Amino acid sequence: MTRTLAAELPPARTEPLDRSDPAFAAMARDERRLAEEFLGADEVLFAVQTASRVDVGRWRGGGRLWAFALRDQLALVAHGPRPYAERIPYSHVRESTYNPVTGELVLAPPHHLKVRGLRMAPLEGYQMLAQIHKEAMADAPAPD
């Protein structure tokens, strides 16, 4: 990650969200139950409902993906007849970037990932990127 990118990202969040946070409250009951089972007691630092969808066994389109920034992993969850849940260590997606033209957080390198991008608003995308790159940002020299 370049020094310029580190300087442009918001600070990574370090305080866990309370499970009564509006992000969790916006989830449908079944989505929330799936997320709580999958996440267990892990601390969620940032949560966002993406505009991306993934196959969960429905006839009418895929399930909406929720993305959760944990301490050292990105967790993705979508509810449906065949629920989707995946944890991706940040170390596996260190080359990720946000594309403001497409509105997508591009997860890179994409090897072995079922989901390679997450469509979300710019502020959410840059915040998630800050969470992914937080160790690299801590090691980066201060901007001149």
Dihedral in degrees, nearest 10, Cα atoms 106, 29, 41, 126:
20
pLDDT of residue 42: 95
Tell me the pLDDT tens digit for each residue of 85-133. Answer: 999 999 999 999 999 999 999 999 877 788 899 999 999 999 999 999 9
Asked if 76 and 84 touch (Cβ cutoff 8 Å), the reply is yes
Q: State both tokens at 38.
A: 């999958």
Asked if 67 and 47 touch (Cβ cutoff 8 Å), the reply is yes
**Does pLDDT of 81 surpass 80?**
yes
Q: State both tokens at 60.
A: 């009418």
Contacts of 104 (CB under 8 A, 6+ apart): 52, 98, 117, 118, 119, 120, 125
Q: Give the residue, 34 or 7, on which the prediction is more confident.
A: 34
Pick the CATH number of 3-139 from 3.40.50.300, 2.30.29.30, 3.40.47.10, 3.40.1280.10: 2.30.29.30
> Is residue 137 very low, low, confident or very high in pLDDT (cuts 50, 70, 90)?
low
Tell me the pLDDT tens digit for each residue of 28-79. Answer: 999 999 999 999 999 999 999 999 999 998 888 788 999 999 999 999 999 9
Average pLDDT, the chain: 88
pLDDT of residue 6: 58
Percent of the chain with pLDDT over 70: 89
pLDDT of residue 113: 81
Domain ranges of the chain: 3-139
